[in-house]
Amino acid sequence: MISLQYNNLDNTASFHKLKNLDKRIDLKSFLTPERIRTYSIETGGKLSYNYAAMPVDEEIISLLQDLAEEQQLVEKYRALLSGEIMNTGENRKVLHHLLRGQLAGPVTYQGRDLRDFYISQQKRIFDFADKVHSGEIKGSTGKLFDTVVQIGIGGSDLGPRALHIALAGYAYETFGKPRMNARFISNVDPDDANCILHDLDPERCLFIIVSKSGTTQETLTNRQLVIEKMNRRGIAGLDPRKHMIAVTSETSPMAGSSEYLDSFFIDDFIGGRYSATSAVGGVILTLSYGREVFQSLLNGAHQSDKNALESDIRKNASLMDALIGVYLRNILLYPVTAVLPYSQALSRFPAHLQQLDMESNGKSVNRFGKPLNYPTGPVVFGEPGTNGQHSFYQLLHQGTDLIPLQFIGFKEPQYSFNPEIEGSNCQQKLIANLSAQIVAFAMGKDDSDPNKKFPGNRPSSLIFGERLNPEALGALLAHFENKIMFQGFTWNINSFDQEGVQLGKTLTRQILGGKSLDPLLEKYSTLLGIRK
């Protein structure tokens, strides 16, 4: 294996070449049908990444290729796959790819082959789900479980929730009703749990308590709230402990506790926001949609993971996406990216990407803890199209700031009912809107009335596929995970820790501890009515 060098972006020659180019691509003259045809890269799940409407030309792309090589991006990915400690601050391997397949030699830890470990957990999930579905495992009062409720927050919530919503239509068309209904509780705000619980039948609910550390305040609080609420119902024989399973690490206080019907394990090498393809997402997706769906999701993710090994950026979708993103951020200096899925099924996917991207790359120090003097991860936001068109697109088209766009779309809908109305079916209308927006943003429109003028030159990329099925969804998820990883390597940061969440936790504990407080904490707590 070649030796890896870790340099800041502004210590690379290619970055300075890009900067000195000082080139502004005019999309209005560059965007051509030929470019749309050729600036496209296939990745997993039959998805393609199209970057025709991004402000890059052959010269810039060559320099981005140089940057990829200079920063050894694919080599670092190979090192990560092979089990090197890439989460340096926490001294941990980074192994979410290994959940989906083996792309390097065996990775072992304390004498255990970790691919075997992850597969054994998948198998345990599948077996458990079979028993729940068949009624071998029932609720404590003898009723079949028909609803699964995930209690988790952050990575234990956003990814699994986004994926679950994304597959509802596919599952309905493929199997009819889901095997089990699924709900999610995350916020420590008691309104969250109360709202979900009040129309559920506790005798038929199975709760998945998800916390890698086994100590997450919100999750343990909500678990206890659920137990108290169940006990209050006074249902003879109802034992909350027989309605709860744990997803946690083997070393956590939750693991193997008699408080749980069963436990499924991840380890320290699966970061929260990268855990959707582990037991964290796998238990609920398998219980709700079946093992085949979860397995297809893993397969799709694995395909994108394989694509990310290509050393030629023109063939590597996530690498190209990553480096164009760096170009937008560090050369063109755009601070925000909008993610715009033309698929209602992806309604919560932007919220998951917000965590994936902003928690991974919202850092100001490099992997050695030294301050950086260039921008890192952007703000990410988005809502599905066409909804967004009737909302914030006004600013995207005519606002004073330029926001690069990341579109997502599919040729076919998930549901089969797609009637023709006024000369075109609903899906055609959706896709026509998507095509129109890409062109409108890039090309703009002149008008003698400045209020009706569109400046254009608003760059966008497009990830598109045939239909949003589990494989395509897995590939889409992995595409973004890998994009973000490559950007982290390019910026020379650790994309796998999250020290920025600690201070708030510490201060919260101080307030709840009830001891004498810092006067500012005291004053805000009084203002908000929790201290006298």
Residue 146 interacts with its own copies (CB under 8 A)? no
Residue 515 interacts with its own copies (CB under 8 A)? no
Question: In the bound complex, what is the minimum distance in angstroms from residue 168's beta carbon to its own copies?
Answer: 6
Q: Which of 400, 515, 516, 532 binds its own copies (CB under 8 A)?
A: 400
Spell out the residues 6+ positions from residue 482 whose beta carbon is closer than 8 angstroms to its own: 77, 304, 305, 308, 318, 319, 322
Cβ proximity to its own copies: between 128 and 393 the closer is 393
Piece of 92-100, 132-140, 283-291, 500-508 that binds its own copies (CB under 8 A): 500-508
Tell me how many residues contact its own copies (CB under 8 A): 154
Question: In the bound complex, what is the minimum distance in angstroms from residue 185's beta carbon to its own copies?
Answer: 9
DSSP E strand stretches across 68-168: 108-109, 112-113, 147-151
Residue 454 interacts with its own copies (CB under 8 A)? yes
**Catalytic position from the list 177, 198, 390, 532:** 390
Cβ proximity to its own copies: between 114 and 254 the closer is 254
Cβ proximity to its own copies: between 147 and 525 the closer is 525
Piece of 95-103, 260-268, 307-315, 387-395 that binds its own copies (CB under 8 A): 387-395
Residue 6 interacts with its own copies (CB under 8 A)? no
Angle at 403 between CA 402 and CA 404, to 5 degrees: 120
- Asked whether 434 and 379 are in contact (CB, 8 A), the reply is no
Cβ proximity to its own copies: between 292 and 368 the closer is 368
User: Phi then psi for 207, rounded to 5 degrees?
Assistant: -100, 135
**Catalytic position from the list 203, 359, 471, 481:** 359
Piece of 79-87, 133-141, 251-259, 505-513 that binds its own copies (CB under 8 A): 505-513
Q: Which of 355, 457, 482, 490 binds its own copies (CB under 8 A)?
A: 355
Distance CA 194, CA 380 (A): 30
Cβ proximity to its own copies: between 294 and 410 the closer is 410
Task: Judge whether 23 counts as a catalytic residue.
Answer: no
Contacts (CB under 8 A) with its own copies, residues 329-348:
335-336, 342-345
Contacts (CB under 8 A) with its own copies, residues 264-323:
272-273
Q: Which of 91, 111, 419, 516 binds its own copies (CB under 8 A)?
A: 419
For residue 333 the two structure tokens come to 């200096």
Contacts (CB under 8 A) with its own copies, residues 99-138:
none
User: Phi then psi for 338, rounded to 5 degrees?
Assistant: -105, 135
Distance CA 99, CA 121 (A): 10
Q: Which of 106, 135, 237, 399 binds its own copies (CB under 8 A)?
A: 399
Binding mask 172-191 for its own copies (x = CB under 8 A): x-------------xxxxxx
Q: Which of 62, 174, 257, 510 binds its own copies (CB under 8 A)?
A: 510
Piece of 120-128, 238-246, 285-293, 421-429 that binds its own copies (CB under 8 A): 421-429
User: Phi then psi for 406, rounded to 5 degrees?
Assistant: -125, 100
For residue 107 the two structure tokens come to 């990775």
Q: How many residues does the chain have?
A: 532
Contacts (CB under 8 A) with its own copies, residues 216-255:
217-218, 220-221, 224-225, 228-229
Residue 430 interacts with its own copies (CB under 8 A)? yes
Question: In the bound complex, what is the minimum distance in angstroms from residue 31's beta carbon to its own copies?
Answer: 6
Residue 158 interacts with its own copies (CB under 8 A)? yes
Please list, residue by residue across 419-443, b when 16 or more beta carbons sit within 10 angstroms of its beta carbon and e when fewer do: eeeeeeeebebbbebbeebbebbbb
DSSP E strand stretches across 138-213: 147-151, 181-185, 205-210
Contacts (CB under 8 A) with its own copies, residues 38-77:
40, 50
Piece of 71-79, 125-133, 255-263, 410-418 that binds its own copies (CB under 8 A): 410-418
Distance CA 243, CA 6 (A): 48
3-state secondary structure of 205: strand
Residue 514 interacts with its own copies (CB under 8 A)? yes
Q: Which of 396, 463, 473, 478 binds its own copies (CB under 8 A)?
A: 396
Euclidean distance between the first and the last CA atom of the chain, given in angstroms as a whole number: 63
Cβ proximity to its own copies: between 78 and 352 the closer is 352
Residue 82 interacts with its own copies (CB under 8 A)? no
Q: Which of 63, 62, 67, 60 is nearest to 8 (CA)?
A: 67
Task: Judge whether 359 counts as a catalytic residue.
Answer: yes
Q: What is the chain's alpha carbon radius of gyration, rounded to the nearest angstrom?
A: 24
Task: Judge whether 243 counts as a catalytic residue.
Answer: no
Q: Which of 5, 11, 38, 364 binds its own copies (CB under 8 A)?
A: 364
- Asked whether 50 and 464 are in contact (CB, 8 A), the reply is yes
- Asked whether 462 and 476 are in contact (CB, 8 A), the reply is no
- Residue 143 C-alpha from the chain's centroid: 35
Query: Please, what is the angle between helix 13-21 and helix 58-70, to 10°?
Result: 160
Q: Which of 286, 296, 389, 492 binds its own copies (CB under 8 A)?
A: 389
Please list, residue by residue across 21-55, b when 16 or more beta carbons sit within 10 angstroms of its beta carbon and e when fewer do: eeeebebeebbeeebbeebbbebbbbbebbbbbbb
Distance CA 246, CA 256 (A): 8
Residue 532 interacts with its own copies (CB under 8 A)? no
Q: Which of 159, 162, 167 is nearest to 278 (CA)?
A: 159
Residue 464 interacts with its own copies (CB under 8 A)? yes
Residue 30 interacts with its own copies (CB under 8 A)? no
Residue 89 interacts with its own copies (CB under 8 A)? yes
Q: Which of 157, 305, 471, 481 binds its own copies (CB under 8 A)?
A: 157
Give catalytic residues, as residue numbers: 359, 390, 505
